[in-house]
Amino acid sequence: MAELPDTDPLPSGDKKALLLETLQRRIVSMELAPGASLDEVALSEEFGLSRPPVRELMRQMAAEGYLELEPNRPARVAPMSYDSLRSFFLAAPLVYVATTQLAAHHGSAEEVERLKQIQTRFRIAIEEGDLQGRIVHNERFHYEIGRMARNSYLMPSLRRVLIDHARLGKVFYRNPSTPDMEKDLLTAVNQHDQIISAIEKRDANAAGELVRAHMELSRRRLSEYVVPEGLNIPLQF
């Protein structure tokens, strides 16, 4: 019997794309903790890549805000310190408001329909208690709005904001069983619907105010997480 030919390995470009997707997922899901060092050799072996394309990909991910690079040190996952969280909660509303208002000006009917489809999946994830799905579809919702904004200056900032928004979601929304949490989740779903409606009506002011209120849910939840119940310590972000 003739020997079967060896199965073709994945092309290098596909391996690199798989590594990118895997690292992004591991970072936003907190499987790779903030500040964790990456083992370049281990990643090269795991994905069947030589080290130069792995280094190139890490430089790309550093530019997008997933990683931090320092001379003569391994790449590490972007940290989430007090300073970075404070910067996030100062910058995120500005970025979300700007992209959402521009989406109301520039979004097409086809893009609004795509946003509605993402929202449907987000709602299902909420109803089914799917934490990972909730985080993924919330990220896609706001990323799609960023695409609709058609602004190349804002997109890098939005990508960076979405990384930490996803990581915060993983930390602060682990237990959705309390009535207060359920109420907030329902509010978030309804706010998404209202944002879509404002974009569809090209009402930029309403869209901006809605997404600002949407961010306030996350800011309030962070305060509750950092300051245990019973302590009356105001946090300023």
Q: Which fold has domain 12-77?
A: Arc Repressor Mutant, subunit A (1.10.10)
Per residue in 85-98, pLDDT (tens digit) is: 888 888 999 999 99
Task: Give domain limits for the chain.
Answer: 12-77, 82-226
Do the domains spanning 12-77 and 82-226 agree at the CATH topology level? no
Averaged over 162-168, what is the pLDDT? 89
Average pLDDT over residues 174-180: 63
Yes or no: say if 226 and 235 are a contact pair by the CB < 8 Å rule. Answer: yes
Please report which confidence band the pLDDT of residue 13 belongs to, taking 50, 70 and 90 as the band edges.
low
pLDDT in tens, 26-83: 998 889 999 999 999 999 999 999 999 999 999 999 999 999 999 989 999 999 888 8
Q: Assess if CATH 1.10.510.10 describes domain 82-226.
A: no
68 forms beta bridges with 76
pLDDT for the residue 111: 97
Q: Report how far residue 172's alpha carbon sits from residue 178's, in angstroms, rounded to the nearest whole number.
A: 13
Task: Judge whether 189 and 134 are in contact, CB under 8 Å.
Answer: no
pTM: 0.81
Instruction: Report the alpha-carbon distance of residue 75 to residue 80 in Å, rounded.
Output: 15
Summarised one tens digit per residue, pLDDT across range 94-130 is 999 999 999 999 999 999 999 999 999 999 998 898 8
Which contacts (CB < 8 Å, 24+ apart) does range 11-14 have? 12/49, 12/53
CA dihedral 221, 36, 64, 130 (to 10 degrees): -40
